Amino acid sequence: MFNLNKRQKIIIASVVLTFGLLSTQMVDFNLRFRFLAGLTILAYLASLWALWEGLNLLKAAVILVLPTLFVLGLASFYFLLPVRWLTRLPIAFIFGLSFYSLLLSQNVFNVAAIRTIPLYRAASTVAFLFTLITAFLLFNVIHAFNLLFIWNGLLVFMVSFLLILQVLWSVKMDEKLHTSVVIQSLLLSLCMGELALTFSFWPMVTTMWSITLASSMYVFLGLSTQFLRERLTKRVTFEYLTIGVLVFLVALFTTSWTG
């Protein structure tokens, strides 16, 4: 009808969701969970509309996972912020720019699945970064609810599976989702769930709990993607494991074991 190109659609989707995020300030507390669910659905539909050209069923299911979960994570985290416009307005502005960048990177995957384009490496880096940010936000919200340890493990497993699956698929971007990718995603997600179970017994603050889990995902995904690209060397393995050990030590020494 308006003959919009893809970039214009991405801009419109980003603006609409930014206003949706800001409107959470005006939602009654009892309706916030319903509003959050509606905003998450809107994120998927807006992303689907913006990237519609070239999408098939598989890409609609995999590529749109990250934008949808990013909105869910940030909107959930947004509720935890102080009720002050001075705090929320800058974050909403950053969200709009971030969502725009994220949709651009996902559009690269959408096109690169058909033909090789030069921006693939940059898009992979952006998507990888947003995957870790989304994981941190969602893990932060999960821990903030003070759930039973078994629920922490289960929710982290589910979130991790969706995030890990879309990253591993983006390495080769095959026309079908291979069983090996699904199995590898399940195994890595199971490790993440088990770590969440273990860390649930640690008296960590919420931020450190989330950073530790997100760092673990960074190590798992880094090693896995390098392996799939046939670039996994001893040096690369050592670098990733070193980061994992350092974060673990920081978590260990910043945890108050005396209550």
pLDDT digits (tens, 9 = 90+) for 15-54: 999 998 888 777 777 788 888 899 999 999 999 999 988 7
Give the residue among 121, 22, 35 at the shortest CA–CA distance from 78. 22
- Dihedral angle, C-alpha 149, 32, 138, 254, nearest 10 °: -70
Mean pLDDT of 148-175: 93
Residue reference for tokens 């969706």: 162
pLDDT score at 135: 97
**Which of the residue ranges 22-36, 129-143, 160-174 would you say has the lowest mean pLDDT?**
22-36
Q: With pLDDT > 70 as the criterion, what percentage of the chain qualifies?
A: 93
Give the residue among 139, 119, 114 at the shortest CA–CA distance from 53. 114
Determine contact, residues 96/70, Cβ cutoff 8 Å. Answer: no
Tell me the H-state helices in the chain.
6-22, 32-50, 57-62, 65-79, 85-112, 120-144, 149-172, 179-199, 206-228, 234-254
pLDDT score at 3: 79
Determine contact, residues 144/206, Cβ cutoff 8 Å. Answer: yes
| C-beta contacts of 227-232 below 8 A and 24+ residues apart | 228/168, 228/171, 228/172, 229/171
Mean pLDDT of 210-228: 94
User: Distance (Å, rounded) from C-alpha 75 to C-alpha 88?
Assistant: 11
CA distances from 97 to 17, 127, 201 (A): 11, 14, 37
pLDDT score at 120: 82
Read off the pTM.
0.93
User: Distance (Å, rounded) from C-alpha 148 to C-alpha 142?
Assistant: 11
